[in-house]
Chain A
Amino acid sequence: MPFVQVGDLQIRYELADYTEPWRQEPSETFLLYHGYARNLSFWSAWVPLLGRDYRVLRFDARGCGETTKPPVGAAFTLDHLVGDAIGLMDKLGLDRVHWVGESSGGVVGVAAALRYPDRLASLTLCNTPFRRPAAVGQTYALGEADQATAIEKYGVGGWCRRTLSYRLDLSKAPPGMAEWYVDEMDRTPKHVAIEMHKLIGTVDFWPLLSQIQVPALILVGDKSAIARKEEMERVHEQMPGARVVVFDGYGHGINLLAPERCVGEIRAFLGQRAGVGATPALPVG
């Protein structure tokens, strides 16, 4: 897979394109942003589901996968994470994307939608909390002072294993997925996981949601303890135009557990918006 220099990072990415090679106009593009301490391989199933109609961009975020790991002690900010993604789009000549984020990848998407509304044709959030419940912070601390201490003590893989049911509904996971999940997260260095935790654990986007202008689709499992159904059902108070789809019987990790349904919901959402109605067709991005 190729790398591209974006600011201080060598970002590993893949821009898949299985649309007709003779197209005059490039097709619209999806940008898939992975969740906390994960990498682009978490989107494998999504590429074939979108790839005949759209270009599909996935990449390893700052410090994750094969992308450059910042030095120990370097703080992570949303400006960094949003800037990395927009910088990557600039390098690849992508004016606009349909942004899909899973869990904290959606938090970065919300930040991008607020800061660069012209660069996002739509925003889809899979199990993304707008503010993390305090109870989750306690659980993630595993009896230590905080999550950072717990990660230092157990390592990213050990910490991930002990908290896995919060980010993957194990009752729905096929054989092998859980072990793979832990192993992939264990590839993320401790200091990256800790800095990301310091950033994501403190974000509260609830008061800013009303400023989001980008068409938004919110997908959530009704059993997720992180992105809670109660909060998602109240999101219309802040975002009257957003569409919320609840996956009954699912916990966290719907992007891995139900990729076909997620993509089906996205296609239906975009199709509705492109159809006859108040909103004009989404421009090519």
Chain B
Amino acid sequence: MATVTLGDGARLVYDGYDFSDPWKESEPVILVHGFSKNRLFWYPWIPDLARRYRVICLDQRGHGDSSLPPQDFKMSTAPFAADLDEFLGRLGLESAHFVMAEFSTAVGVEFAITYPDRLRTLTLLGLGVDYRVWPVDHDAWARQMETEGPEAWARQTNSLRLPADADPALKSWYVQQQGRMPGWLMAAVMRYAKTVDLTDRLPLVQCPVLVVSGDAARQQPIEVTQQAVSHLPNGRLVVLHDAPFNVMSARPQECVAATLAFLEQHTRTPAVPTVS
């Protein structure tokens, strides 16, 4: 566990993993968890990804072990994108591959538009397009987070994130981790989310983009995702059959395989010294 301190004093906590061949260059891949999650959610991703890449998982501001924003903080994706830009700079990296999940895909799109030089590629796991039309009551959810707490809300809505036959211990762990986020912050995210529509933003993303989505997501029909990906200048879509919205936790192996295949196509051939 390591920490960087940003210009405004916020601390972002991260872990680094690299099991690549030490005699080769390994490019950095930054894994950014979904909202109300944290960096621990990437555990099934790390071994295979870090065999080939230098993997960095961070807790976004307000999540996991990182600093909380102030309670009067004005929620939008922009400050989270700015955090990623500054985080990269503090690590001494010009650019990296980014893998972003669930509602953080909205941050990813904002980040790619505002800081295009920072991304070699962008992988979006569960891309929400127009949250305004999602069949959920964001305001009621926000009130429940404030009154009953985030864990109660997370438990009640878990079937949206994980398949019914998922290991009960996984479900319980997932809910408990979501419960680490303060209710007021979750509610602020929720009230902001209901205003987000990325339809007009997607054509502005210039870097290569991979979208991995489940066709059983109850939040958004797969046709909407297909249409959105067709508006990305350099995008492709991998659909996981019968998978829910939260593909990174529900179907990690298939997500990792798709991500590795995509990254491999956009990785520079490393220079290696000649054998003596």
Contacts and interface: CB of A to CB of B under 8 A. Distances in A.
A20 B170 contact: yes
B40 A45 contact: no
Interface in B154-191: 167, 169-170, 172-173
A179 B23 contact: yes
Contacts of B40: 21
Interface residues of B, number: 25
A41 B51 contact: no
Given A21-B40, A21-B173, A22-B170, A177 B276 contact: no
A44 B275 contact: no
How many chain A residues sit at the interface, stated as a range, is 20 to 34
Contacts of A176: 21, 23-24, 272-273, 275
Interface string B18-32: 111111100000000
Given A41-B22, A175-B272, A21 B43 contact: yes
A150 interface: no
B46 interface: yes
B23 A48 contact: no
Interface string A148-186: 000000000000010010000010011111111010100
Given A52-B47, A173-B275, A175-B272, A22 B24 contact: no
B274 interface: yes
Interface string A10-25: 0000000011111110
A116 B49 CA distance: 36
Interface in B1-41: 18-24, 40
B50 interface: yes
B47 A182 contact: no
B137 interface: no
Contacts of B276: 161, 164, 178-179, 182
Interface in A39-62: 41, 44-45, 47-49, 51-52
Contacts of B272: 175-176
Give the interface SS of chain B, mostly helix, strand, loop or mixed. loop
Contact of A180 (B18, B22, B172): B22
B44 interface: yes
B48 interface: yes
A30 to B, nearest CB: 13
Interface of A: 18-24, 41, 44-45, 47-49, 51-52, 161, 164, 170, 173-180, 182, 184
Given A47-B47, A48-B48, A173-B275, A22 B173 contact: yes
A177 B44 contact: no
A45 B275 contact: no
Contacts of A178: 275-276
Given A52-B44, A177-B21, 19 more contacts: A18-B43, A20-B43, A20-B173, A22-B172, A22-B173, A23-B169, A24-B169, A47-B47, A49-B47, A161-B276, A173-B275, A174-B21, A176-B24, A176-B272, A176-B275, A178-B275, A179-B23, A179-B276, A184-B22
Contact of A45 (B21, B43, B172, B273): B21
